[in-house]
């Protein structure tokens, strides 16, 4: 068991119709050697063996919900995900472990995003050792985002602690980015030349996932038709119940 990092799935029972696909694909494509936590409201659902369910109070603000769960995570690093980041290929354990080592060895950086987005990149990070890592400009409005990323757990917790207690998702961009700047955080981004998906995001060969499967409450067929159609068939999902876009 890798005791340095854990997978965190941030979810709610309002998205339980996505859980079959989310956890089914995690079982198929995610390393068994990494501990897994599910942050959710109190529900009667049979999560697979190997998942530790941590419940939050559904009446709390999102900020307080997340903090109440995150402070129960024992591992010093987390891979943050959500239920609609559905995998479509194997996750690279080798790369995930190398990113943990990078954060361990270089305390300047708090996180590594696993998917390239619209953030402005300042430079390559130690190209002789890490050809796929780039330094994100902390001044960019998209510096912070709750997307698939490897985080130092204590720093992620500090970001939420610094947000207003009643805020929802901190108006992630630019609200979360402003908080990161006030805390003096720095971050990296992984990019291996993956194809652009839609207007802003590229695919990820390290954590190959649909980013995201649900947009404004509907299945994101417009960008991920090829990946979602097998999901609908495999997990007996009628996409018209939720709707498609």
Strands 133-136 and 186-190: antiparallel
* Domains contained in the chain, number: 1
Task: Establish if 245 belongs to a structural domain.
Answer: no
Give a yes or no: residue 135 inside a domain: yes
What's the domain range around 52? 2-239
Which parts of the chain register pLDDT below 70? 1, 166-174
pLDDT digits (tens, 9 = 90+) for 128-173: 888 999 999 999 999 999 899 999 999 999 999 998 776 545 544 5
CA angle 191/195/197 to nearest 5° reads 105
Q: What is the pLDDT of residue 44?
A: 87
Distance CA 136, CA 81 (A): 20
How far is the C-alpha of 150 from the C-alpha of 73, rounded, in Å?
14
Domain-embedded: residue 201: yes
Decide if 187 is inside a domain. Answer: yes
- The answer to whether position 244 is within a domain reads no
Is residue 139, in this structure, part of any structural domain at all? Answer: yes
The confidence score (pLDDT) of residue 14 equals: 94
Residue that has been written with the tokens 């018209």 in this structure: 240
Strand-pairing partners, residue 9, are 38, 81
DSSP class of 118: S
Residue 31 maps to a domain? yes
CATH code, domain carrying 152: 3.90.550
Q: What is the pLDDT of residue 129?
A: 84
Rg (CA), the chain: 17
Instruction: Kindly state whether residue 175 falls inside one of the protein's structural domains.
Output: yes
Q: Which residues contact 159 (CB under 8 A, 6 or more apart)?
A: 144, 170, 176, 179, 180, 183, 185
Q: Is residue 110 a contact partner of residue 152, using CB atoms and an 8 Å limit?
A: yes
């Amino acid at each position: 068991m890798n005791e340095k990092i854990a997978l965190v799935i941030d979810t709610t029972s309002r998205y339980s119709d996505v859980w079959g696909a989310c956890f089914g694909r995690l079982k198929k494509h995610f390393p068994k050697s990494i501990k897994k936590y599910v942050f959710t409201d109190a529900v009667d659902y049979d999560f697979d063996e190997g998942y530790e369910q941590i419940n939050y109070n559904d009446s709390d603000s999102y900020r307080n919900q997340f903090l109440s769960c995150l402070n129960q995570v024992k591992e010093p690093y987390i891979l943050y995900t959500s239920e609609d980041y559905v995998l479509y290929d194997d996750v690279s354990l080798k790369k995930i472990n190398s990113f943990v080592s990078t954060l361990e060895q270089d305390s300047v950086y708090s996180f590594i995003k696993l998917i390239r987005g619209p953030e402005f990149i300042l430079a390559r990070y130690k190209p002789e050792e890490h050809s796929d890592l780039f330094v994100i400009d902390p001044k960019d409005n998209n510096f912070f985002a709750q997307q698939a990323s490897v985080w130092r757990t204590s720093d992620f917790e500090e970001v939420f602690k610094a947000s207003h207690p009643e805020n929802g998702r901190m108006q992630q961009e630019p609200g979360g980015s402003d908080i990161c700047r006030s805390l003096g955080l720095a971050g990296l981004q992984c990019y291996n030349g993956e194809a652009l998906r839609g207007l802003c995001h590229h695919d990820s060969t390290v954590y190959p996932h649909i980013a995201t499967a649900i947009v404004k409450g509907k299945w994101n067929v417009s960008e991920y038709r090829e990946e979602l159609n097998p999901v609908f068939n495999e997990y007996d999902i009628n996409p018209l119940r939720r709707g498609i876009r």
